[in-house]
Amino acid sequence: MKKILFVCHGNICRSPMAEFVFRDMVKKQGISSEFIIGSAATSSEELGNPPHRGTKEKLREAGIRTDGKYAVRLEPRDYQKYDYLIGMDKRNIINMNRICGGDPEHKIQRLLDFTNHPGDIADPWYSGNFDVTYREVLEGCRALLLYIQQGGRK
């Protein structure tokens, strides 16, 4: 069982998008039972809120629902609970390390770092462009799943 937690600033745009895209991928491959997948925030300002309207609309276009998702905060105990803690940008990684007290097991990584062009996932909260974010999240999730299926080798 692989346990993955996607993390962004507020847990209303990028990380729930990644959570539900990844859930959809493993469901379509018939391997949902091999994963526990969640998402969380590094901040507390959106706690209890559902995914952003733009995230819900973009995922709905892809046939993916976000029912029952409300923003939660990353907790120090999540470091031991999950195998992979996947941030969306450098700032998330800094905050994840702070919250978790470091990363001695090298579980904290950026999503696009699993692709051929490492970097930050565009934040649609600022850009308003959920299409770009979705494309990046989709690419990152595909690469992460391949990485896991290959036994953790790039």
> What's this model's pTM, rounded to 2 decimal places?
0.97
Of 38, 29, 30, 28, nearest to 2 by C-alpha is 38
DSSP state string for 19-59: HHHHHHHHHHTT-GGGEEEEEEESSSTTTTPPPPHHHHHHH
| DSSP code at position 143 | H
Domain spanning 2-149, CATH class: alpha beta
Of 13, 14, 24, 141, catalytic:
14
Of 24, 113, 120, 123, catalytic:
123
* pLDDT, greater one: 125 or 153: 125
Q: Tell me: the pLDDT tens digits for 3-38?
A: 999 999 999 999 999 999 999 999 999 999 999 999
In the chain, where are the structural domains located?
2-149
Whether 141 is a known active-site residue: answer no
Whether 14 is a known active-site residue: answer yes
Do 92 and 8 meet the contact criterion of CB atoms below 8 Å apart? Answer: yes
Of 8, 13, 100, 141, catalytic:
8
Q: Tell me: the pLDDT tens digits for 78-100?
A: 999 999 999 999 999 999 999 99
As a whole number of angstroms, the distance between CA 138 and CA 6 comes to 13
As a whole number of angstroms, the distance between CA 153 and CA 8 comes to 25
As a whole number of angstroms, the distance between CA 44 and CA 11 comes to 9
As a whole number of angstroms, the distance between CA 96 and CA 42 comes to 7
Query: What's the pLDDT score for residue 154?
Result: 46
